[in-house]
């Protein structure tokens, strides 16, 4: 969810010509879904599909399938076989859609839903900004359980029966709580930096990287940092809290992070450059200059860097190679944020 931020629009030079497809161009079997939050209060959040094989971009999937936009602040989406579940934060609802054509199956109401993770059997876990961790039963399509977990919980990561929950707390909380999905209880609290907001697991070892945003807008700014938890011991083992002077900024406020085996990327601040770093020794490497809102990797497929730029309205979805050179850039919806990879055959 965004607050009322003043955004300065700027001109961006595209590296390739945009190719926008007809929204009703067939059954969805693969691609990258871009979640467009929409303008706060406008109810115009929607989803874009990018098809890598043809470089087609299909905007407004939900609107085209259902005659109206998904709602106010499209936050997260989870793909479940032939169905997708979408959290729409400021509309206080969760939508179930048929994946092949995005037609609405059903809707349930729940306060301020945020991020999903798939559990065992027919369960999905969900954070919500009413301070709850909620259990969603897919068979019944309703919330069947909830537990008070912290202030403004955000990211989720499931490791066996242990569910890691980042309590963002608007920059005022510094806890990651571990919820056991069998005993349905909180079994451990790990203290990290203030404002833990995003998780990314390294593919080279069993470590969880945590982006802690801090609070740069407080009267006395609270610095952020990147913290590392060993999933074997459930303890914090490393952190990066100060940037080298060569970067021009000692304090930083990472709210987004994506790591691979040896390389990671983070975005500091609400919008910012994508900063590349070495996950082993914290060496700061080249950055991708811009005003980016989110960054993700898809290491099972390629070494590219996928990003959204929400500084313009409508926003941009962009793909960079590992050297930071732009490969593709497309116009999508308003305030694009999350990106979800899908291949029916994998």
Residue 305 lies in a domain: no
Residue 37, CA atoms < 13 Å, CB-side half-sphere? 24
Residue 287 lies in a domain: yes
Helix (H/G/I), strand (E/B), else coil: 83: strand
Q: What is the CATH number of the domain that holds 245?
A: 2.130.10.10
pLDDT of residue 86: 99
User: What is the helix (H) or strand (E) element at residue 209, kind and residue range?
Assistant: strand 207-212
Phi, psi of 162, rounded to the nearest 5 degrees? -100, 120
- Show Cβ contacts of residue 265 under 8 Å, excluding neighbours closer than 6 positions: 257, 258, 259, 274, 275, 276, 277, 295, 297, 305
In the chain, which residues have pLDDT < 70? 1-26, 245-249, 346
Q: How far apart are CA 313 and CA 336, in angstroms?
A: 9
Q: How many domains does the chain have?
A: 1
- Residue of 4, 43, 40, 49 lying closest to 22 (CA atoms): 49
Residue 134 lies in a domain: yes
Round to the nearest angstrom and report the end-to-end CA distance of the chain.
32
Contact 247, 260 (CB under 8 A): no
pLDDT of residue 12: 32
Residue 70 lies in a domain: no
Specify which residues 343 forms β-bridges with.
Answer: 30
User: What's the whole-model pTM score?
Assistant: 0.91
Residue 204 lies in a domain: yes
pLDDT of residue 5: 37
Peptide bond into 314 cis (omega under 30): yes
Q: How far apart are CA 107 and CA 142, in angstroms?
A: 9
Residue 72 lies in a domain: no
- Residue of 148, 158, 151 lying closest to 182 (CA atoms): 158
Bridge-based pairing of strands 113-118 and 196-201 is unpaired
pLDDT of residue 26: 60
Contact 282, 269 (CB under 8 A): no
- Residue of 256, 332, 334 lying closest to 50 (CA atoms): 332
Residue 20 lies in a domain: no
263 DSSP 8-state letter: E
- Residue of 306, 310, 262 lying closest to 288 (CA atoms): 306
Contact 265, 273 (CB under 8 A): no
pLDDT of residue 4: 35
- Residue of 252, 254, 164 lying closest to 207 (CA atoms): 164
Residue 61 lies in a domain: no
Domain range for 187: 121-292
- Residue of 259, 274, 258 lying closest to 309 (CA atoms): 274
């Amino acid at each position: 969810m965004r607050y009322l931020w003043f955004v300065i629009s700027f001109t961006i030079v595209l590296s390739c010509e945009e190719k926008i497809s007809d929204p009703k161009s067939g059954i969805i079997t693969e691609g990258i879904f871009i979640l467009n939050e929409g303008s706060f209060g406008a109810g115009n959040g929607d989803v874009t599909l990018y098809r890598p094989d043809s470089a087609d971009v299909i905007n407004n999937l939900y609107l085209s399938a259902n005659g109206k936009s998904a709602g106010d602040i499209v936050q997260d989406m989870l793909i479940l076989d032939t169905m997708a579940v979408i959290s729409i934060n400021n509309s206080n609802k969760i939508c179930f859609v048929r994946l092949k054509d995005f037609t609405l199956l059903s809707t349930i109401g729940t306060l301020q839903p945020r991020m999903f993770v798939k559990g065992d059997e027919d369960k999905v876990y969900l954070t919500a900004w009413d301070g709850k961790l909620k259990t969603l039963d897919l068979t019944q399509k309703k919330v069947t359980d909830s537990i008070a977990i912290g202030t403004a919980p955000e990211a989720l990561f499931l490791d066996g029966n242990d569910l890691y929950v980042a309590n963002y707390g608007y920059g005022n909380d510094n806890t990651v709580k571990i919820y056991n999905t069998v005993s349905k209880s909180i079994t451990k609290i790990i203290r990290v930096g203030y404002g833990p907001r995003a998780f990314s697991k390294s593919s080279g070892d069993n470590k969880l990287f945590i982006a802690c945003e801090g609070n740069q807008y407080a009267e006395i700014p609270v610095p952020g940092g990147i913290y590392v938890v060993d999933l074997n011991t459930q303890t914090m083992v490393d952190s990066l809290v100060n940037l080298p002077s060569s970067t021009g900024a000692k304090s930083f406020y990472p709210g987004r992070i994506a790591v691979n085996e040896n390389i990671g990327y983070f975005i500091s601040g609400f919008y910012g450059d994508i900063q590349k770093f070495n996950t082993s020794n914290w060496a700061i490497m080249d950055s991708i200059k811009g005003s980016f809102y989110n960054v993700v990797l898809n290491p099972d497929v390629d070494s590219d860097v996928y990003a959204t730029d929400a500084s313009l309205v409508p926003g941009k979805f962009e793909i960079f190679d590992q050297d930071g050179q732009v490969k593709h850039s497309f116009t999508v919806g308003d305030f694009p944020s999350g990106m979800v990879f899908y291949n029916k055959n994998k």
